[in-house]
Amino acid sequence: MIKNFSSSIGELSVPQHNRHIIAILEFIETYINAFIFIYREEYSNIKNETGITHELCSYFQSKINEHPFYFHHEDRTNPESGQSPTVDFGVKTRVPFGKFKPRQTIFSIEAKRLPTPGSRREKEYVIGHVNSKDKYITCGGIERFKKEVHGEGLTHSAIFAYLLKEDFEYWFKQVNEWITELIKDDSQEIEWNESDKLTTKYFKSKSAKLISINKRKHDSIFLYHYWLNLVNNISNDNLIDNAHIIIVE
């Protein structure tokens, strides 16, 4: 029997319309640290973003059990279009919930490596780049949510970052510096402001959680940023975390 969204989050007091968000965040924060441990033990030879994402999605899916949602790898934003962009994870509902029908995407997750390989793609967590043919590629993680390439019609979504070098403090400072540059750049196609910057919820040994409120054309989307510490020179023995759930209204 599939649990409903209300029972899957226990006694948390949150608005009814956000209960699916809490349930998804609770699931992520329950299992993300265990995946980091498994990655170090079994998959540390995988360094590419696609490979790590594949293993993480498979691991999450193996833990779904009776949850009222499931994870779909490379989820199409618009299934009716063969040219539709895909997001790395789509979280889909198994049962009707509010305005959502069964098998409808209720939460989108984009994944990025830190650092991103290649000098042209250095800032890809935030913004896209001009390729070798002088064509602009809209591939920035935050950018795609702001432009509604990902997360269209959704109020909350997430970005996962796989840290392969440096630490959480380094990337927190770096990402916000990139956003500061965009705020000052009048040539940008979309508006960037202070709310696009990341705010820390916690930094722990295995994982970090940050949030941002990102303006779109007609509204804003709340992004949860989950960063996974996959740096090689840290052993599993030194990684002990406890996580908690925070929802942004």
Query: What mean pLDDT, rounded, does the chain reach?
Result: 86
Neighbours of 78 (CB within 10 A): 10
pLDDT tens digits, residue range 209-230? Answer: 999 999 999 999 999 999 999 9
Q: Is the pLDDT of residue 184 over 80?
A: yes
Residue with the larger pLDDT of the pair 130 and 194 = 194
Q: Is the pLDDT of residue 192 over 70?
A: yes
pLDDT tens digits, residue range 99-123? Answer: 788 888 999 999 999 999 877 789 9
Q: What is the pTM of this model?
A: 0.86
| % of the chain residues with pLDDT over 70 | 82
Q: Is the pLDDT of residue 76 over 80?
A: no
pLDDT at 20: 87
What confidence tier does 8 reach under pLDDT thresholds 50, 70, 90? very low
Secondary structure letter of residue 197 according to DSSP: S
Angle formed by the axes of helices 49-62 and 19-38, to 10°? Answer: 110
pLDDT at 188: 93
pLDDT at 117: 86
Q: Is the pLDDT of residue 248 over 70?
A: no
Cβ-based neighbours of 200, under 8 Å, separated by 6 or more: 172, 208, 209, 210
Q: Is the pLDDT of residue 243 over 60?
A: no
pLDDT tens digits, residue range 44-63? Answer: 999 999 999 999 999 999 99
Q: Is the pLDDT of residue 91 over 70?
A: yes
| % of the chain residues with pLDDT over 90 | 66
The whole-angstrom separation of Cα 20 and Cα 99 is 12
Nearest to 87 by CA among 16, 149, 43, 142: 149
